[in-house]
DNA sequence: CGCTTGACTTGGAGCGGCTCCAACCCGGTA
DNA sequence: TACCGGGTTGGAGCCGCTCCAAGTCAAGCG
């Protein structure tokens, strides 16, 4: 399939796909007779995973290692598992940050309510 | 207090604090006789908020607007609320991404279990 | 008193991860 | 034939830090 379709399906942008290929996060993609990339359907699955991993904070270097391992087949499953488990920890940390932020926003909203309340109904009764 | 203490308390790095000052995310910080920044205690609160907002994906431009409004006092509460509410949407999106990623990781782990299971106990009974 | 240590200062370079752009090519349709 | 709508490349630009060199100053110590 064309790069644009792979982009649409995986969630990566076409630019990002090309960038990933350049920087060895993706393997060299096969080309059609016209020199255009002809993305194998099976690649889209990997791209989607990469998209999700990056979106949630896995660094490029780890993506690179991951796809490298992936290309070497089942013998590397243990190493891949380790990478993904490490990422699990990152997810946890991110969730914690989201939680903290949400709590703080809620508190801020209360403060704002009070300020605006005072503004609208100054010295309102108890 | 010194910049290092403000950093430790807020979660921002000293470098980042200086960078934020340079780029008008923080107001010009007062200096002591020795030329060192003397961070007012009240600023730490703002820095902590900024840290949490950035950590969860608010862009610099919004931080800048936020602190700008903050410095203008209570009249800007509505605008600040709007910024924080917009950020609430970002939090939601991030959480969704985390969720999707976690689901996918769990699935991957199952796949890996099977592959490794096959490896260790080939053609084990039903 | 001089010397070292440590925390700070500035300006500027470097980096991760894209994102956008100009300039070009190719195949298909009006 | 002229023009689209895709694709290609190389390279610049951007965001948000992060690190570094070179310098200044204050405190503590022999």
In the 3-class helix/strand/coil scheme, how is chain B assigned residue by residue?
Answer: CCHHHHHHHHCCCHHHHHHHHHCCCCCCCCECCCCCECCCHHHHHHHHHHHHHHHCCCCHHHHHHHHHHHHCCHHHHHHHHHHHHHHHHHHHHHHHHHHHHHHHHHHHHHHHHHHHHHHHCCCCCC
A108 touching chain B per CB within 8 A:
yes
A100 touching chain B per CB within 8 A:
yes
B109 touching chain A per CB within 8 A:
yes
B15 CB below 7 A from strand D atoms: yes
Distance, in angstroms, between A105 CA and closest chain B CA? 7
Nearest to A98 among B49, B91, B119 (CB): B91
Listed in sequence order, the residues at least 6 apart from B101 whose beta carbon sits closer than 8 Å to its beta carbon are A52, A53, A55, A56, A87, A91
Closest nucleotide to the alpha carbon of B38, via C1': C8
* Predicted confidence (pLDDT) per residue in A40-51, tens digit: 999 999 999 999
* Predicted confidence (pLDDT) per residue in A20-78, tens digit: 999 999 999 999 999 999 999 999 999 999 999 999 999 999 999 999 999 999 999 99
Q: Do the chains contact at A80 and B52, CB–CB below 8 Å?
A: no
Q: Compute the distance between CA of residue A58 and CA of residue A83 in angstroms, rounded to an integer.
A: 9
* Predicted confidence (pLDDT) per residue in B28-74, tens digit: 999 999 999 999 999 999 999 999 999 999 999 999 999 999 999 99
Q: Which two tokens stand for residue A79?
A: 């190493």
Q: Which of residues 23-62 of A touch strand D (CB under 7 A)?
A: 31, 35-37
Percentage of chain A lying above the pLDDT 90 cut: 91
Distance of CA A61 to the CA centre of its chain: 14
Helix ranges (H only) for A1-126 are 3-10, 14-22, 41-55, 60-71, 77-120
The CA-CA-CA angle for residues A109, A95, A114, to 5°, reads 5
- Taking the CA of residue A126 and the C1' sugar atom of nucleotide D17, their distance in angstroms comes to 49
Q: Do the chains contact at A116 and B78, CB–CB below 8 Å?
A: yes
A54 touching chain B per CB within 8 A:
no
Question: What average pLDDT does this structure show over A1-12?
Answer: 97
DSSP bridge partners of A31: A37
């Amino acid at each position: 399939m064309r790069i644009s379709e792979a982009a649409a399906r995986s969630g990566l942008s076409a630019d990002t796909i090309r960038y990933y290929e350049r920087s060895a996060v993706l393997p060299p993609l096969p080309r059609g007779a016209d020199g255009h990339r002809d993305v194998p359907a099976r690649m889209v699955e990997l791209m989607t995973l990469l998209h999700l991993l990056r979106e949630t904070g896995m660094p490029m270097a780890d993506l690179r290692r991951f796809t490298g391992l992936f290309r070497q087949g089942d013998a590397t499953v243990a190493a891949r598992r380790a990478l993904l488990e490490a990422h699990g920890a990152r997810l946890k940390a991110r969730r914690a940050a989201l939680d903290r932020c949400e709590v703080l926003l809620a508190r801020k909203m209360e403060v704002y309510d009070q300020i605006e309340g005072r503004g609208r109904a100054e010295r309102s009764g108890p």
